[in-house]
A and B are shown apart, each in its own frame.
Chain A
């Protein structure tokens, strides 16, 4: 019996350690609130750690009290003695006092944490004087539209599911939605904020670390909510302006016959009703713009890597990949599909 108890408790300890390890492993990486890439996310991370350690301390105290209570059971004499049922004993008074102190400490801790959250919240919504880069994010079921607003209107452009940012520049991200409520959540950059139809909200941050981070819709928005991700690429100023200049161009012209036929397939079938390819008659905003599709690393809201095979799977039957998404399946002959893929992969 005793042996059995020992092994059981050993299992329990190992289990707890494993859970703790998994927890800490999950914290690192491209979608993490404790690996900040902006000073704003840094403040949030600090707050996170304060809350973490306070909670751990409280948990440890409560557990210790519980264990003490379990082991300090009534002595043999107490168990056999006739039970004293008069309520106002010394013991009752002591217990009441202990509970009152615990309650007071709990309330005090909660108020301190509330104060800290409040000051952090104020600190991260602060806009500095320098001119920011303005980007508008529009949520769609189930993809992200990013509009780069340029002082010269013809240089502004729209892209999808990939947010590129220059390192060290202040960003003002304006958020709104085309249909239902979504939520912009890229924890390495900033806390989450909802995208609300018919209303605009703002996020302000300054990326200071280069890298690729992942973001995710954080407000349930329908069937494919879980597959509504995006990537954030923070680049050096030079790389960013190269990319920016390229994005403000129209799509490249097809360079051979197959690509030309592919463009024809695109323009004469359903695609033209939903997508934009700059410089062609395709000019619709129901699906993501494809003007520079080939220079993105992922498709379908960071669901698949951008490869020819994945494009083929997506174009023929996207309902298999994201059931319920708003792109219909397409029946194209093998030749048409081949030409179309040649064209799509040429759209650098």
Chain B
């Protein structure tokens, strides 16, 4: 028979072996969880991007004299890197690409989220487009944007038409969302159209 509130109750005893088993189990589980957390994407701030010369000599057409020379494609590691892609997205606004290309939908400049490319969809083509400029109104950013940032922009431009993995492509915008996030864009199959818009 107990009355009132007990301020000094006796602690219930739990059998030690069961307790020990539980502690060990929890520890093992925690270790497993930490293990999963180990795989984290690297954020390089002093980066070694693909060099600018990788993009040099990229061809605009398959049409060539003599036997076909195979092209060695340029691998842009930033396409697998969520941080680099989000930096590309930020720079696309900050360097005012959006002023002409309107979030990739096209305006003064052509749309970048569709399957049509005037100057090629390969990373090296886009690199050249940004650095050299293109005759019908695309300014040249040579010397004004460091190479690694150009490669970040290249990766981001390709994410606009779903060319990069959805696990790395941006999933949200800092400002109002204007279209479906890059992450959930369908993968377009790029073709050279040669005709503006």
Contact = CB atoms under 8 A, between A and B. Distances in A.
Interface stretch (A106-114, A158-166, A241-249, A322-330): A322-330
B4 A92 contact: yes
Interface residues of A, number: 24
Say which size band chain B's interface belongs to.
Answer: 10 to 19
Nearest to B10: A85
Interface in B109-162: 143-146, 148-149
Interface string A327-338: 011100000000
Interface string A57-97: 00000000000000000000000000000011000110110
Contacts of A99: 7
B153 to A, nearest CB: 12
A293 B68 CA distance: 57
Interface in B1-37: 2-8
B195 interface: no
B144 A323 contact: no
Contacts of A179: 174
Interface string A229-267: 000000000000000000000000000000000000000
Interface string A310-323: 00000001011001
Given A179-B174, A268-B143, A270-B146, A96 B7 contact: yes
Contact of B143 (A87, A269, A324): A269
Given A92-B6, A92-B7, A96-B4, A269 B45 contact: no
A268 B95 CA distance: 15
Contact of B46 (A95, A270, A272, A329): A329
Contacts, number: 46
A102 B4 CA distance: 19
A319 B46 contact: yes
Contacts of B146: 270, 328-330
Nearest to A88: B3
A63 to B, nearest CB: 20
Interface in B66-87: none
B94 interface: yes
Contact of B45 (A92, A268, A323): A323
Contacts of A329: 46, 146
A324 B6 contact: no
A291 to B, nearest CB: 20
A323 B45 CA distance: 6
B172 to A, nearest CB: 12
A286 interface: yes
A87 B2 contact: yes
Contacts of B7: 92, 95-96, 99
A56 B82 CA distance: 50
Given A87-B6, A88-B4, A270-B143, A328 B148 contact: yes
A270 B144 contact: yes
A270 B142 CA distance: 9
A328 B6 contact: no
B15 to A, nearest CB: 23
A270 B146 CA distance: 7
A319 B45 contact: yes
Contacts of A87: 2-4, 6
A268 B146 CA distance: 13
A269 B2 contact: no
B39 interface: no
Contacts of B144: 269-270, 272-273
B40 interface: no
Nearest to A197: B174
Contacts of B8: 92, 95
A158 B68 CA distance: 58
Contacts of B46: 317, 319-320, 323, 329
A138 to B, nearest CB: 14
Interface in A278-303: 286
Nearest to B43: A324
A267 B131 CA distance: 17
Contacts of A324: 43, 45
A13 to B, nearest CB: 32
B143 A286 contact: no
Contacts of A286: 94
Nearest to A317: B46
- Shortest Cβ-Cβ A-B pairs, 5 listed: A328-B146, A323-B45, A88-B3, A95-B7, A319-B45
Given A96-B7, A270-B143, A270-B145, 15 more contacts: A87-B3, A88-B3, A88-B4, A92-B7, A95-B7, A179-B174, A270-B146, A274-B94, A319-B45, A320-B46, A323-B45, A324-B43, A324-B45, A328-B146, A329-B146
